[in-house]
Structure formats: C-alpha cells, structure tokens
A = this chain, B = another copy of it.
Amino acid sequence: MAKKLDPPDPELAAFGRRLRELRYEAGLTQEALAEASTLHRSFIGQVERGIRNVTLRSILKLARGLGREPHELLLPAAE
C-alpha cells in the first residue's frame, strides 16, 4: 500500500485514469479487480482518484489482476 494523499497528485491521477481505462477494457468492476489482484476495493478507488502513491508491488498485483504486463500500466491513458 502507500500513503493516502489529499488533494490528488496530477501524476498519480494520470496513473489512476490509465488504471480505470484498463479496468474498463477488462470488463471488471472495482470489486472484481480488487478480488483478482488481492487488494481492497477502497484502495482501487483511491488509486483511480490519484490519492494513493501506489507501490511497485501493488502495481504488479494490479497487472496480474488485469491480465496485463506491468509496463502497460505506465503507458499514458488514451483520453
């Protein structure tokens, strides 16, 4: 996990948009992604909103839950 931040950090928010994009592409709810990645649903929500400075281990768990390669999570979001 990692520290919770308020307000959102622009770079973390950009990661959050990318995560949401990949989650939509995978057809997963936050709850389903949480279960697939062994993380908490509230944590997924906070990462998507850019208020969590997510760690590498959580990034790797999210990639596994999404069925993606880790580096794909650090590409820019399409929109």
Q: Which residues of A contact B (CB under 8 A)?
A: 2, 9, 11-12, 15, 53-57, 59-60, 69-75
DSSP majority for the A interface?
helix
11 new A-B contacts at CB < 8 Å, known A12-B57, A54-B56:
A2-B2, A9-B57, A53-B56, A53-B57, A55-B56, A59-B74, A69-B74, A70-B74, A71-B72, A71-B73, A71-B75
**Closest residue of chain B to A61, judged by CB?**
B11
Q: In the bound complex, what is the Cα–Cα distance between A29 and B18 (angstroms)? A: 32
Q: Tell me which of B12, B69, B75 contacts A56 (CB under 8 A).
A: B12
Q: In the bound complex, what is the Cα–Cα distance between A15 and B71 (angstroms)? A: 11
Contact across chains for A55 and B11 when beta carbons are under 8 A apart: no
Smallest beta-carbon distance A64→chain B, Å = 10
